[in-house]
Amino acid sequence: MLNKHGDEDESKKAKMHLKANDLLCVNGCGFYGTPQWENRCSKCWRAHQNELKKSQDFAKNKSLLSFDQFQERRKSTTESKSRGIKNLFKTSPIPESGTSSPTSTSPASTPTRRRDLSPDSLEARKHFTDFLVANLSTAMAQEIARSVKNAVTKICEMRMNPDEMSELVMSYYQYLGERIGGHSLFDSPDCKVKVEDVMDQVEKYISTCCYTTFFCASHEEEVADVSLQDRIRSLHWVTAGFLETKLVFKKQTVRDKIDEGISELIEINAKKSAFEKLDCLTRSCKAVFEALKESESSMSADEFLPTLIYILFRGNPPLIQSNVKFISRFAIPARLMSGEAAYFFTNLSCALEFARNMNHESLQMEKAEFEAYTTGHLAPPLSVINSACNQAMYVLEGTIETISTVVKKAGGLASNLTGVHGKADDDLEKMLIVIKETVDFYPTEEYLNMKESIFCEEQETADLLVSLSRQSSESGRGTLSTSADSQPSTPQPQLEPSLESPLAAVSQKETE
């Protein structure tokens, strides 16, 4: 924002001071935590939820049952749930050998209800099958494919709330990961893939095929997502200099990277698997880091998070909250606990939390002023970012820079063409000299015959010209003597051959 002196007013900018440790789980496990999990990592959050559920169930049933009866009922409920999960994903053991066991059934013979697959699901199935066939033994690939396809069928038939569905899918990930992790194939040095690679493909296949079941599973979540998008839209004025970022918007490369980050953030909603959504988020955040790098800014969390909030407000990606919940519920837990993608996901969660909780105190302004900006009754003040004059200057500077580059390249091209023409002329002259010298020193038989033929023709032509010249001279003298006998002596002009005629050349040759 510009104050009355035309300078940037730093007092009303949202300033954030965030350390790397602030993004870690509050339980001190060393993994990343997110605001939607109360700053816990996915593992600690599920453990916390289980303990909380046990406490709630205990309190709920304490007044209805005696302690002994409650213990017996809780045990039977737990065993029933465990059996349900095992029965749901029950498959035959994965054989150690490279061939199928005689008793194993093929997927085609398994009695399942046919369900039409979407084009995305068909493509995911083909990719998943190709991966298994290319990297695993035939028996193991068949067993994994059978187990996963059975899981997809059962999931699509179930009617559960999102959290229960997430718990079920996570249990299956753990169950399948432990089964294939104990296989001797992955201990072999010839094995091309790791257990984590197989589980990544399993996650992509399940989340793509069950996308309509997993995503926006409840009406309340859809309403909350639309509400958040409306709020971000009402806070668009915050991007007009109210966030403290170190971006240098005068540079075209910075603006291009910001646009790239916004595009990738919007692209998250177009992907069907948690794996692909995290990839889009990773590319978006890397573009943010590139923009900070071009601005010669530091790469700390204090600089990264405000910039991520800026592109979140600028892009206002559709259903971003539902996409974040989808990732947190159905992504492989290890991917959200550590690593590059986990760091970016945690920062995006913090950015969404900031958007939900942002108020006048965040920008150190009066509540009435904040509400006036939000409702549109008051236009955002001019800033270095949103000033139309500055934007026009950016476009003009970019155009001038482009024209200068084109003119410079055109000048260089013209100079290169002149040099090419000169070099071509020199090379042609040298080539002719070399050809003449080569022919003179190493004449071919054809060349000698041609030269002899030309010489003979020239000799015959010269002899013919000499003969014609003599005949002409004799004829001229005879005519003149006859005229002298019959006519008075009158001086007659002598016919002289022209200096340019062939006869003159022959006469001159005879004289010599």
pLDDT at 268 over 90: yes
Paired residues of 24 in beta bridges = 32
pLDDT at 154 over 50: yes
- Give dist(CA 148, CA 37) in Å, integer: 28
- Give dist(CA 502, CA 302) in Å, integer: 100
Phi and psi at 136, nearest 5°, equal -125, 165
Cβ–Cβ under 8 Å, residues 170 and 328: no
Give the pLDDT mean for 474-482. Answer: 60
Quote the mean pLDDT of the chain: 75
pLDDT one-digit tens code per residue, 13-58: 555 555 555 566 666 666 666 665 666 666 676 666 666 655 555 4
Cβ–Cβ under 8 Å, residues 290 and 254: no
Q: Which fold, 226-386?
A: Glutathione S-transferase Yfyf (Class Pi); Chain A, domain 2 (1.20.1050)
> In three state form, how does the secondary structure of 168-179 look?
HHHHHHHHHHHH
Give the pLDDT mean for 456-477. Answer: 85
pLDDT value, residue 13: 52
pLDDT value, residue 89: 54
Most confident of 16-30, 37-51, 185-199, 419-433: 419-433
Q: 325 vs 132, 242, 329, CA distance in Å?
A: 29, 28, 6
pLDDT at 504 over 60: no
- Give dist(CA 33, CA 44) in Å, integer: 9
Most confident of 34-48, 123-137, 239-253: 123-137
- Give dist(CA 169, CA 162) in Å, integer: 10
pLDDT above 70 covers what percent of the chain? Answer: 66
pLDDT one-digit tens code per residue, 384-404: 555 544 556 667 777 888 898
- Give dist(CA 508, CA 512) in Å, integer: 6
Cβ–Cβ under 8 Å, residues 146 and 91: yes
Number of helices and strands (H, E) in the chain?
17, 0
Residues 6+ apart with CB under 8 A from 366: 360
The structural domains of the chain, with segments of one domain joined by +, span: 33-88, 95-214, 226-386, 387-453
Burial class (CB in 10 A: 0-12, 13-18, 19+), 265: buried
Positive or negative, the CA dihedral 310, 313, 316, 319 is positive
Kindly state the DSSP code that residue 98 receives in the 8-state scheme.
S
Structure token digits, residue 73: 């009922």
pLDDT at 489 over 60: no
pLDDT at 457 over 60: yes
- Give dist(CA 214, CA 397) in Å, integer: 48
Give the pLDDT mean for 328-357. Answer: 87
Structure token digits, residue 203: 């996650």
386 CB neighbour count, 10 Å cutoff: 17
Tell me if residue 483 falls in helix, strand or coil: helix
Q: Which of 261, 304, 298, 305 is nearest to 283 (CA)?
A: 261
> In three state form, how does the secondary structure of 19-43 look?
CHHHHECCCCCCCECEHHHCCECHH
Kindly state the DSSP code that residue 146 receives in the 8-state scheme.
H
Structure token digits, residue 294: 């071009």
- Give dist(CA 422, CA 13) in Å, integer: 63
pLDDT value, residue 255: 86
Which contacts of 267-273 are long-range, i.e. CB under 8 A and separated by 24 or more positions? 268/317, 268/320, 268/323, 269/317, 269/318, 269/319, 269/320, 269/323, 272/120, 272/124, 272/207, 272/208, 272/211, 273/124, 273/203, 273/204, 273/205, 273/207, 273/208, 273/211
Cβ–Cβ under 8 Å, residues 162 and 225: no
